[in-house]
Amino acid sequence: MPAPAPSFRDPAGGCCLFNQRVLRFVNAGAIPEFEAFLQTNCARQFIAGKKFVSTRRLNEDETAALRAAPELQPVFNAQPIGAVFEHERIPFPGYPHEWPPEMLWAAGRLTLELARAALADGFGLKDATPHNILFRGSEPVFIDALSFERRHPGDPIWKPHAQFVRTFLLPLMAHRRWNLPPADIFLTHRDGLEPEEMYRWCGPLERFKPRTLSLVSIPTWLSRRADPDDQGIYRPHLLANPEKARFILESLFKRLERTLDSLRPAAQNQSAWSDYMATHSYDDPAFAAKEAFVDEALREFQPARVLDAGANTGHFSALAAQAGAAVVAVDLDAACAGAIWRRAREQKLNLLPLVVNLARPSPALGWRNGECPSFLDRATGAFDGVLMLALIHHLLVTERIPLEEILRLAYDVTNSLLVIELVEPKDEMFRRLTRGREHLHAALDVKMFEQACAPYFEIVRSLALQGTQRRMYCLKRKGDGH
């Protein structure tokens, strides 16, 4: 069976993953507009700039071959498909419930850029959700190519305005006001936060602050007073003067851009982990030895795709990216993931940061758990190298994950290389975490660790970091682990 369509809400067509290809099925009635949009200067410019997913229409033979595929019968039978298009595949999809606030901001910026550019070509963006966007490294790419339709020249209203507010502005506002990570919001709220919900969270004075007044309070008061059965509210109110309608929309996009920029996450966002690189327990020679060890492993194995698990602020992710790998860096701390994103953008690194807790990885989400696959579904077998640096003591002690389980996870995720740092129970950080439970980990030492690795990995080399209770391992995945 093909993966369920991630964009089945759009009556103009759907999308699915089939044999590693991203296919878009477009209904007959929507094809002219879709193709006309792809020919616009806006689409061509954004595709050339790699900000819009590249798309090609399949020819009749290719479409006929797909029609014959039994796995695609449900898709073809569900709606009258007029044509099939194929999109480029984004290497590792990360979803809004895994983004740090910085990435949500960047996705919002791209959404507004596209909406404004499409307006100049006579098209309108018909939905404005972060789910329209994936990231290629640290750069957002608009993937829902069917989200554009020809707009009526006299229409001064942008229907997705409320959705843009719900899914971009209010989550960023909640982050700025209450330090609530947008990733947490999107885990439970596909369509973001309703103004009414935010209104309840705000205190009486907060409700009258200019930004809150405009985005939260006034919409809430108006919706309370409006007649919910009055369908006239939703009818288009077309203006006779198209120039005026466009002026109004231009002003709206400019206002939204200003509001979005005012909610841009601060670069100095702090958390318990974001200053780890300045406060860690290694002295300079030990840290340099660790860095050299990782660098040597990366140069020897030359992994094309690397997962840095527990990446913190991305020091070693950047090292892997500089060695030529496409890196996915995961950390449970949104401030750390945000710092990685800023670093990746500044240094133009092929580095995708995601807010993921390996002990509680993102579940599959959406209708029948089919719209966003779980993190482990996406990660299994997807990497040639995995870095687990200064991580296992957190999993062993804080999360109480058995050592063998940690190694099995690494075995499932990597196809080749694992660089792992053994932190022994005598280590200062390890002891801080155990808090009187040292007896639970008394048996963990080099010998036990190497025995645990043996079913899954060959030890290529190891290095004790002088002056610490830590040892680096470069491991090669065995062909068939337990």
In the bound state with another protein, the residue whose beta carbon lies nearer, of 85 and 457, is 85
Can residue 39 be called a binding residue for another protein (CB under 8 A)?
A: no
Q: What is the DSSP string of 81-128?
A: EEEEEEEPPPSS---GGG--HHHHHHHHHHHHHHHHHHHHTTEEE---
Q: Decide: helix, strand or coil at residue 16.
A: strand
* Residues in 320-339 at the binding interface with another protein, rule: CB under 8 A: none
Question: Could you say which of 220, 362, 414, 468 contacts another protein (CB under 8 A)?
Answer: 220
Can residue 239 be called a binding residue for another protein (CB under 8 A)?
A: yes
Residue 388 Cβ vs another protein, minimum distance, rounded to whole Å: 41
Can residue 312 be called a binding residue for another protein (CB under 8 A)?
A: no
Quick one: which H or E segment has residue 60?
Answer: helix 60-68
Can residue 131 be called a binding residue for another protein (CB under 8 A)?
A: no
In the bound state with another protein, the residue whose beta carbon lies nearer, of 241 and 347, is 241
Residue 89 Cβ vs another protein, minimum distance, rounded to whole Å: 25
Please name the residue ranges forming H helices in 303-421.
315-322, 334-347, 375-379, 392-393, 403-413
Residue 383 Cβ vs another protein, minimum distance, rounded to whole Å: 36
Q: Which stretch binds another protein (CB under 8 A): 84-92, 115-123, 379-387, 399-407?
A: 115-123
Q: Which stretch binds another protein (CB under 8 A): 25-33, 90-98, 323-331, 466-474?
A: 25-33
Question: Could you say which of 50, 237, 360, 426 contacts another protein (CB under 8 A)?
Answer: 237
Can residue 42 be called a binding residue for another protein (CB under 8 A)?
A: yes
Can residue 115 be called a binding residue for another protein (CB under 8 A)?
A: no
In 3-state terms, the chain is what percent helix, strand and coil (to 5)? 50, 20, 35
Residue 88 Cβ vs another protein, minimum distance, rounded to whole Å: 20
Please name the residue ranges forming H helices in 3-59.
31-38, 41-48
Question: Could you say which of 78, 222, 446, 448 contacts another protein (CB under 8 A)?
Answer: 222
The answer to whether 315 and 288 are in contact (CB under 8 A) is: no
Quick one: which H or E segment has residue 13?
Answer: strand 13-18
Question: Could you say which of 129, 138, 212, 350 contacts another protein (CB under 8 A)?
Answer: 129
Please list the residues that pair with 457 across neighbouring strands.
477
Q: Rounded distance, CA 110 to CA 108, Å?
A: 5
Please list the residues that pair with 136 across neighbouring strands.
139
State the helix-helix crossing angle for 334-347 and 101-120, rounded to 10 degrees: 50
In the bound state with another protein, the residue whose beta carbon lies nearer, of 221 and 276, is 221
Number of residues that bind another protein (CB under 8 A): 57
Can residue 33 be called a binding residue for another protein (CB under 8 A)?
A: yes
Can residue 117 be called a binding residue for another protein (CB under 8 A)?
A: yes
* Residues in 398-417 at the binding interface with another protein, rule: CB under 8 A: none
Q: Rounded distance, CA 257 to CA 431, Å?
A: 48
For residue 241, how many other CB atoms are within 10 A of its CB? 11
* Residues in 154-213 at the binding interface with another protein, rule: CB under 8 A: 156-163, 165-166, 191, 195-196
Of 36, 59, 55, the C-alpha closest to 46 is 55
In the bound state with another protein, the residue whose beta carbon lies nearer, of 241 and 369, is 241
Can residue 258 be called a binding residue for another protein (CB under 8 A)?
A: no
Residue 128 Cβ vs another protein, minimum distance, rounded to whole Å: 8
Please list the residues that pair with 417 across neighbouring strands.
385, 476
Of 203, 189, 208, the C-alpha closest to 104 is 189
Positions touching another protein (CB under 8 A) are 9-12, 29-30, 33, 41-42, 44-46, 116-117, 119-121, 126-129, 149, 156-163, 165-166, 191, 195-196, 214, 218-224, 226, 228, 233-234, 237, 239, 243-244, 246-248, 250-252
